[in-house]
Amino acid sequence: MIRVAYHLLDVFTETPFSGNPLAVVTEAESLSAAQMQAIAREFNLSETAFVLAPRDPVHTAALRIFTPTTELPFAGHPTLGAACLIALVRAPDMIGRQPLQLVLEERAGVVVCEVSRVHGHLRGAFLPPQAPALVGDLGDRAAIAAALGLGEAEIGFDNHLPVVATAGLPFAFVPVDGLSALNHAAPNAALLAAACGLERAAAFVYARETADPAHHVQARVFVHSLSGDGRLATPYGFGVHEDPATGAAASAFAAVAAHFEQPEDGEHHIVVEQGFAMGRPSHISLNLRIAGGILVETSVGGACVKVGEGMLTV
């Protein structure tokens, strides 16, 4: 039998038991992929991260990310949470004095992260492994509305229209006209996947109306694959239905915001509220750098708080 350490964190929050929960298993080289999958299924969180020695010794670590049912090439909150934990374990004094840079090897590519302490809170940020980009438009607003259990008139605001974008994982981005529509969205997996043209139903539904007027959008993210009639009664696919904080989707949202808002050249900061409908409020910081009217750099950040640790016997 093998004993390995694990840590529990809440990500994209400064408050324990809010944000997106994450399990991180450290020194996971002795585990097979099948054992990692079994551990992720045991934790039954949206994702579990496994820290391994890097292939390139100049990098900090390698990271493998599993949902309860499958491995992912990249995911935001496991990347941020794992980076914060590694910094906390390996260099707790250093992050109190200056930002610490880490380089993580993930299946989607190398991810550069930065971790620091700000006013006593552990905060991190990362550059997505792929540049955020629009994939295409979603023209059938009636089909999208039906898939979300909303009226067609509730889809869209200002010049924002439904599109697909990616920064390593593709998501459908669906603007709605306010928090009432956002809170009443009740997606049907089969209809949503068909309307979005994706193999899995993965939708970032967002409104300009927010809980805090200083923030910019509030979002709900629904992720699940198809089974039976596509309804939400039984988890399948990714093993989750709604995510309280989705860094991969927020990364891709940079391309959406840049496309529809057309910000002037320079640095821009967006705060995304997520998880409010689930009782796990999260705050995702999104930084955009625009040059020549083009999005040239994106970073995704937020706070992390450690809430527990223990040992697994495998």
Mean pLDDT computed over 189-208:
83
Q: What is the pLDDT of residue 98?
A: 87
Question: Is 209 a residue of the active site?
Answer: no
Query: Cα 205 to chain center, whole Å?
Result: 13
Quick one: 245 exposed, middle or buried, by C-beta within 10 A (0-12, 13-18, 19+)?
buried
Say which of 14, 29, 42, 47 is annotated catalytic: 47
Nearest CA among 91, 244, 285, 72 for reference residue 168 = 72
Which tokens go with 198?
């994706």
Q: What is the pLDDT of residue 199?
A: 67
The pLDDT tens digits of the residues spanning 207-253 come to 999 999 999 999 999 986 444 343 433 333 344 488 999 999 999 99
Quick one: 293 exposed, middle or buried, by C-beta within 10 A (0-12, 13-18, 19+)?
exposed
Cα(283)–Cα(287) distance, rounded to whole angstroms?
Answer: 13
Name the average pLDDT for the chain.
91
The pLDDT tens digits of the residues spanning 110-161 come to 999 999 998 889 999 999 988 999 999 987 899 999 999 999 999 999 999 9
All structural domains of the chain: 3-127+303-313 (3.10.310.10), 133-300 (3.10.310.10)
